[in-house]
Amino acid sequence: MEQQAKSALKTVQATVTDGIKDIIGSGKEDKSNEQDSSSVADEPTSSENNTTKKVSKPRDSGPKQISIREIPMLENVQEVKKIFNRHLHFTVVKDRDIASNRDYYTSTAYTVRDHLVGRWIRTNQYHFENDEKRVYYLSLEFHMGRALSNCLINLGIKNTVDKALCQMGFNIEELEEYESDAALGNGGLGRLAACYLDSMATLGLAGYGYGLRYDYGIFAQRIKDGYQDECPENWLKFANPWEIGRPEHLVPIQFYGNVINDENGKKKWINADIVHAMPYDLPIEIEQNLAVRYLYQNMES
pLDDT 10s digits, 107-147 = 999 999 998 888 888 888 888 888 888 889 999 888 888 88
Helices (H), the chain: 2-25, 77-90, 101-129, 147-154, 158-167, 172-176, 188-203
From residue 38, alpha-carbon distances to 35, 45, 76, 77 in Å are 9, 21, 27, 29
Q: Answer yes or no: is 13 within a domain.
A: no
CATH number at 242 reads 3.40.50.2000
Are the beta carbons of 258 and 271 closer than 8 angstroms?
yes
Q: Answer yes or no: is 26 within a domain.
A: no
Separation of alpha carbons 13 and 228, rounded Å: 47
| b/e burial code for range 164-180 (CB count within 10 A of at least 16 → b) | bbeeeebebeebbebbe
Q: Answer yes or no: is 90 within a domain.
A: yes
Q: Answer yes or no: is 204 within a domain.
A: yes
Handedness of CA 219, 222, 228, 232 (dihedral sign): negative
Separation of alpha carbons 52 and 139, rounded Å: 55
Spatial CB neighbours of 291, under 8 Å, sequence gap ≥ 6: 16, 17, 20, 123, 201, 202, 203, 204, 205
Are the beta carbons of 113 and 148 closer than 8 angstroms?
no
Share of the chain above pLDDT 70, in %: 70
Residue 256: domain span: 69-300
pTM of the model: 0.72
Weakest-pLDDT range from 13-17, 165-169, 172-176, 233-237: 13-17
Q: What is the pLDDT of residue 72?
A: 55
Domain count, the chain: 1
Checking if the pLDDT of 22 tops 90, the result is no
For the chain, the straight-line distance linking the first and the last C-alpha, in angstroms and rounded, comes to 51
Separation of alpha carbons 79 and 256, rounded Å: 53
Q: What is the pLDDT of residue 285?
A: 76
Q: Answer yes or no: is 52 within a domain.
A: no
Q: Answer yes or no: is 38 within a domain.
A: no
Name 292's bridge partners. 285
Per-residue pLDDT reduced to its tens digit, 242-269:
999 999 999 999 999 999 998 898 999 9
Separation of alpha carbons 144 and 197, rounded Å: 9
Closest listed residue to residue 67, CA positions, set 16, 19, 125, 116: 125
Q: Answer yes or no: is 24 within a domain.
A: no
Separation of alpha carbons 6 and 149, rounded Å: 31
User: pLDDT confidence of 207, banded at 50, 70, 90?
Assistant: confident
Checking if the pLDDT of 27 tops 50, the result is no
Q: Answer yes or no: is 8 within a domain.
A: no
Weakest-pLDDT range from 10-19, 189-198, 221-230: 10-19
Q: What is the pLDDT of residue 19?
A: 54
Q: What is the pLDDT of residue 61?
A: 52
